[in-house]
Structure 1
Amino acid sequence: MNLRRPPLLRSGLVPLAALAATSLLLTGCTPELPVPVADAPVVAAVVTEAQERKILEQVTAVVDGAKGDKGSKALEERLTGPALELRRAELRIAAAGDGKSLPAMSLETRQLILPSEQGWPRSSFLITPDPANGTTPMLAAFEQPAPRDQYKMWGFVYLAPGVTMPQFAAAELGSPAVAADDTSLKVSPQEAVTQYVSVLNVDGQSQYAENFGDDELRQTLRETGESQLAEIKKADKEAKATFEVGYEATKDPVKAVRTADGGAAVLAALISQETLKAEKGWQLLPSAPSAKALWGDAKPTAVMTVGYRDIVALYVPPAGSPDQISLLGFHRVPYTVSNK
């Protein structure tokens, strides 16, 4: 596993396009009665950089101030959807442990991706700079459902080490949102998520495996299973055990924004479960601090399951592109650990 990412709150067994070129061409109807050509519409973001930075300051203040039992409710002021669920899970882990495990969330700006739509809902995105601690930048999505609603953080992922991010329109121009069923891409955003879930579940055996390159999340899942099974074999060479991963998409709608090449960056919320089963008589215990905190005083059995809340970010190429769909980043937070 690449150790440059922020800690993957994992468990284990001891260690466990381009802007829509639909400009209306208004030409003269006849030589005798020429119709003046209308000026091209001014393409501009509907949220300014200054406004967005103010929003980020307000979100940061709420997130930084949300601690302890009251923090979960306080987050609702500026977090929503998958981001709210993941941060709440992080708060629960911190509260169940020593309180020092709550990851800091910096919303400093390397690049702003602002909306170009005049209507609502509106979504904006942020890419943070390379952190000084050697981890990876964050890609975050924000949404405003209606004119009088606050902008809230909808989701966030940490970029995969070494990933090449797609290019986006300049902030002052704005970037259009992409519908979940958009047909201008290699596959629609929703279909891309469906296919990726299949790949996460059965890896290279998925019928969609050829549409994706290998990535850090898939590698992490493989390494987790291999290390846990190896620990059991280390204790007993003849022991039999299994490790399974199950993923599914949540009911949250995907978030997608147009890239400069006509593709899209897509964020989606998933839930997953890792299940480790050993032979009768084994007593499996989590080793990761986050899983230990959630485990509490449960009695160990021959089964250990860990449930996660996930957000993934994918790049989906434009239709006709030879490129594969690729993982841009992800974030996983355990929210339940069980002996069943």
Structure 2
Amino acid sequence: MNSRRPPFPRPGLVPPAALAVTSLLLAGCTAELPVPVADAPVVAAVVTEAQERKILDQVTGVVDGAKGADGAEALAERLTGPALELRRAELRIAAAGDGKALIAMPMAAQQLVLPSEQGWPRSSFVITEQPAKGTPMLAAFEQPAPRDQYKMWGFVYLAPGVTMPQFAAAELGSPTVPADDPSLKVTPQEVVTQYASVLNVDERSKYAANFGDDKLRQTLRDAGRNQLAEIRKADKDAKGTFEVGYEPTKDPVKAVRTADGGAVVLAALLSQETLKAEKGWQLAPAAPSAAALWGDAKKSEVMKVAYRDMVALYVPPADSAEQVSLLGFHRVPYAVSNK
């Protein structure tokens, strides 16, 4: 995982100290009495690093201990929202026969992004250490009210080679960003809608210019190309179609401010892949997770796989020339259909 360099001050933004010097120069030789200035508010995270690491250990214990039929209920102790749905979907796949779908989720933290708001709800974020296999995870946690436990709200696996933005030091805390915040190139809520359009039709989307190409888009292209190739391998003249449809869920987005004035946005989506072949074809999923859910369902010329998705996007500040970029994603199939 790489880090973005701290940004240079943006044109037009003059440090307070510089303003003070300018005012003295304009005043010439006129002496002015010093005016008392109120102390600046103390900026500090409202959760300590030690507290956050304790939370992470507790979440890991619950998540890794949840197995079998009873595991889905046990998860609610420390998971909520999209994270709970994603992990429950993984449990169902494991129960259906694909045990590899249930990946351990160690929470050893490489970087903590702690909340700075005094009130509630509060959100924190963690980037985990690089595992022996796979990529680090970016997870979001929330505490709705003072007496509630922190629970994992969502998680993604970082895309290989991704450049992560910088955040404020953990001890200072990072503010959350409202869903309709206008200081960004695209508001957190709108960027999810735009990205869903890009995932659906790729470069044909009217929002395509706002986004750089990324690993998820490549994954979807490869999925369609490979599945259609399998059909043509059996019959070079066979015709087939592959379509993908994405839509944001009703879950609120989570957004946190980055050091350069941008934001990292986490959002949940639902998607469906639809593969169709000519009448008489016998289609079935090839991916282990989807195949486990398919079981012994009757084959047909139509195959649909529904997914729960989560994406993490970096959205630059409004005056930036940079595109929105994908930081990570996670997809878990939860239903299959032959019609």
Gaps of 5+ in 1: 1-16, 26-30
Residue of structure 2 equivalent to 1:146:
145
Offset at 1:33? 9.0
Deviations, residues 153-176 of structure 1 (Å, cap 9, x unaligned): 000000010110000000000000
Counterpart position of 1:97: 97
Does the 8 A contact of 2:98 with 2:289 survive in 1? no
Match of 1:289 in 2: 288
Give 1:13's aligned residue. none
Q: Which residue in 2 is equivalent to 1:275?
A: 274
| Distance in 1 (alpha carbons) for counterparts of 2:288 and 2:193 | 31
2:66 is matched with 66
The reply on whether 1:251 has 2:247 as its aligned counterpart is no
Partner residue, 1:52: 52
Counterpart residue type for residue 179 of structure 2 = A
TM-score by length of 2: 0.90
For the residue of structure 2 that corresponds to 1:91, the secondary structure is: helix
Deviation, structure 1 residue 130: 1.3
2:257, 2:85 → 1: CA distance?
26
Give 1:176's aligned residue. 175
- Displacement of 1:100 in angstroms is 4.9
Provide Cα deviations, 1:215-271, integer angstroms capped at 9, x if missing partner.
Answer: 000000000000000110110111110000000000000000000000000000000
- Corresponding residue for 1:12? none
- Cα shift readout 1:267-314 (whole Å, capped 9, x = no counterpart): 000000000000110000112211111012210000000000000000
Note the residue ranges of structure 2 that are not aligned, 5 or more in a row.
1-6, 20-30
Alignment of 1:183-198 (within 5 A): 183-198=182-197
Q: How far off is 1:36 after superposition?
A: 2.3
Aligned to 2:297: 298
Q: How many residues align?
A: 315
Task: Specify the code of the residue in structure 2 equivalent to 1:226.
Answer: R
1:158 aligns with 2:157: yes
The letter for the 2-side match of 1:247 is Y
Q: Classify the secondary structure of the residue corresponding to 1:178.
A: coil
**Match of 1:47, as an amino acid?**
V
| RMSD (CA atoms) | 1.9
Indicate how the Cα distance of structure 1 residues 122 and 228 shifts in structure 2: closer, same or farther if over 3 A, else same. same
Instruction: Return the alpha-carbon distance in structure 2 between the equivalents of residues 98 and 79 of structure 1.
Output: 22
What's 1:315 paired with? 314
Give the deviation of 1:34 after TM superposition: 6.6
1:337 aligns with 2:336: yes
Give distance in 1, aligned partners of 2:98 and 2:276: 29
d(CA) in 1 for partners of 2:295, 2:173 = 48
Q: Indicate the percent of aligned positions where both proteins have the same amino acid.
A: 81
Instruction: Name the structure, 1 or 2, with higher relative contact order (CA <8 Å, separation 6+).
Output: 1
> 1:99: how far off?
3.7
SS at match of 2:147: coil
Amino acid at match of 2:132: A
Q: Aligned-pair distance for 1:22?
A: 12
> Which structure's residues are more often helix, by fraction?
2
Q: Is the 8 Å Cα contact of residues 98 and 288 (structure 2) preserved in structure 1?
A: no
Q: TM-score, normalised by structure 1?
A: 0.90
Q: Which structure: larger Rg?
A: 2
**Which residue type is aligned with residue 327 of structure 1?**
L
